Amino acid sequence: MVGNKCIHVDRAQAAAVHDPNTKLPSDHWQALIALHRTLLHEHHDFFLASQHPSASPALRRLAVERSMPARMWKHGIHSFLELLRQRLPDSMEYMLAFIYLAYQILALLCETVPAFEDIWMECLGDLGRYRMAMEDEDVRDCDTWAGVARSWYTKVADKNPIVGRLYHHLAILARPDALQQIYYYSRSLTCVKRFAGARESIRTLLDPVVDHNAASLPHALPIDISFIKPHGLQFLGRSVKDDRASEEFLMAKAEFLDSLDNYIGRVTAEWKDRGVWVAVTNIAGWFDYGVDDNALRQAFLIQLSERAKNPPSTAPEEKSRTASAIEQQDPIKPSVTLSQIQKKLEQLAAQQTFKNAQLLSNATFALALRRLGDKNVLLHINIMLAFLTSLSSFSSCAYIFDLIKDTPWSDLVTFLNKLLETESQSHSQTNTSNSENINTLLSTALFPADDERPDELPLPEDYLTRGLIWAHGYFPENWFARERNEEERYLESASTTRNRISRVLRLGYAIAKQNRWISYDASTCSFSVITSAP
């Protein structure tokens, strides 16, 4: 078989790669490319036949049962690409030719065999990264291919938002933006299906910062370095000394916060996205950056498993035909039971590393809240309130409420009341009373039903938190079906800001209805802090 021959040849050539006397002649390379091209064409024909509408159910299942997409990538493309890469620069011409050949076939499979579209798109992203890595000198071409790879990974992440591996790919492509890198690593580690390998990759970013070797990150902004350092100390276990926050951690946190306010004021709208990246990374600290037995992660997994017990009914055949290969994998199951989780959470809350994570995220949150009237901090505040709302939804685990008792409630109340004041002024031209308008706004559902508020679309930050374990039950099932054009999803229009303000106010109201930390008075249209929780 062609497949076995490719495996044998690739292994033989890989074993001989370090022999200086094994430089391959041109006709040998051409023969190898022809062999792998034949294998790719055979796979293409197999997929066309097995996924044809007239194919039997048994034949349609064959590709999944035999892991044919993965085998095609491994034996038909990846092994040979690695061989070509190890032979650079002699193999440059042939590597380029093979990348374009493989890219063409995968793009064709995307169109003709959509059942495995998510796999083809991820493979196309991988090919883009290989092509990008070949451009050592031409920065423009390197950026072009980085954009191609990023586009494919983003497309497949849209289809599989809970899969952390995809955000790990995007973290690598985020270089040299250090803040965007740590955001994607954090997202990879705190997804429903976290990618454990990111815990090793993230150290390439954290180690130089913590070891005062920031020169190895020459393009990183000073403010980003100062933000990454306390997280690096947390991740590497250097933020605690004698059961207290280490002096090194406290100094790193202070250095970041001391420069943050001026930085936000200077970069203005640029901090919209960066504020989301900061919030997601800070929240990742609560989850110990993807440690699987983290009690908070386990609490959310228990919640997700409870919801999964009553999934919408779908015919098995229809499910196998429409669901992506990743979605058909077994769901992640919690490693602790509901009866054990409260004790685990108590132990987590007592850990100094967890207290440090709370300290850093709450201090950053408070600073953003104090920037009254600054719409550029609304995205950060929206993310933090969404996280708090997700935590406060644990009616079956009261101890989680205690984890958020140190939230800067006074700053939040001041911020929300200022927003209400602004909203009241904007509604003053209507015939109805201001209080009636405001109370109607707050009591309206956080997210509209499928047939309601058709002009209300997902906010840009919704896409940046989709798939995170704490946000998985936060968004309605069909929320992203309202998706606008991919190129327009991050555009900031007047309606975007208006909907964001409404979302923030409704989140504040949702928390106030818990009547534990803050309250809302409908007669005065104002929030206030509850001084002694019941």
- Give the DSSP per-residue string, 394-414: -TT-THHHHHTTTS-HHHHHH
How does DSSP classify residue 240? E
Kindly report, residue by residue over 358-412, the tens digit of the pLDDT.
Answer: 999 999 999 999 999 999 999 999 999 999 999 987 765 667 778 898 999 999 9
Is residue 21's pLDDT more than 70?
no
Residue tagged 């015939």 (tokens): 431
Q: How many helices (H) and strands (E) does the chain have?
A: 25, 4
Give the pLDDT mean for 284-298: 95
Measured CA to CA, the distance from residue 233 to residue 149 in angstroms comes to: 32
Quick check: 38 and 110 in contact, CB under 8 A? Answer: no
Give the pLDDT mean for 165-172: 97
Residue tagged 């939040």 (tokens): 412
Check whether the bond before 89 is cis (ω within 30° of 0): yes
Question: Which residues lie closer than 8 Å to 287 by C-beta, 6 or more apart?
Answer: 189, 190, 294, 296, 297, 469
Q: Which of 7-21, 59-73, 254-268 has the lowest mean pLDDT?
A: 7-21
Is residue 328's pLDDT more than 70?
no
pLDDT attached to residue 19: 65
Tokens in use for 515?
Answer: 């009547």
> Within 13 A of 196's CA, how many CA atoms are on the CB side?
3
Instruction: Note the residue count of the chain.
Output: 534
Question: Which residues lie closer than 8 Å to 158 by C-beta, 6 or more apart?
Answer: 480
Measured CA to CA, the distance from residue 188 to residue 172 in angstroms comes to: 11
pLDDT attached to residue 114: 94
Q: What are phi and psi of 245, to 5 degrees?
A: -60, 130
Predicted TM-score of the model (pTM): 0.91
Q: What is the mean pLDDT of the chain?
A: 88
Measured CA to CA, the distance from residue 99 to residue 128 in angstroms comes to: 9
Is residue 18's pLDDT more than 70?
no
Question: Which residues lie closer than 8 Å to 107 by C-beta, 6 or more apart?
Answer: 120, 124
Measured CA to CA, the distance from residue 307 to residue 297 in angstroms comes to: 15
Is residue 224's pLDDT more than 90?
yes
Measured CA to CA, the distance from residue 489 to residue 311 in angstroms comes to: 29
pLDDT attached to residue 534: 46
Is residue 211's pLDDT more than 50?
yes
Quick check: 230 and 255 in contact, CB under 8 A? Answer: no
Measured CA to CA, the distance from residue 166 to residue 150 in angstroms comes to: 10
Confidence band of 88 (pLDDT split at 50, 70, 90)? confident
Quick check: 298 and 344 in contact, CB under 8 A? Answer: yes
| % the chain with pLDDT above 70 | 91
pLDDT attached to residue 306: 80
CA-based nearest residue to 272, from 417, 381, 408: 381
More confident residue, 322 or 36: 36
pLDDT attached to residue 484: 67
Pair type for strands 526-529 and 518-521: antiparallel
More confident residue, 52 or 282: 282
Confidence band of 339 (pLDDT split at 50, 70, 90)? confident
Largest interatomic CA distance in the chain? 88
Is residue 301's pLDDT more than 80?
yes
Is residue 319's pLDDT more than 60?
no
Kindly report, residue by residue over 445-503, the tens digit of the pLDDT.
Answer: 999 888 888 788 899 999 999 999 999 889 998 899 877 667 777 788 888 999 999 99
Tokens in use for 7?
Answer: 């495996």
Quick check: 47 and 111 in contact, CB under 8 A? Answer: no
CA dihedral 329, 335, 341, 346 (to 10 degrees): -120
DSSP collapsed to 3 states, 20-48: CCCCCCHHHHHHHHHHHHHHHHHHHHHHH
Quick check: 476 and 456 in contact, CB under 8 A? Answer: no
Quick check: 331 and 305 in contact, CB under 8 A? Answer: yes
| % the chain with pLDDT above 90 | 65
SS3 390: helix
Confidence band of 284 (pLDDT split at 50, 70, 90)? very high
pLDDT attached to residue 429: 58
More confident residue, 337 or 329: 337
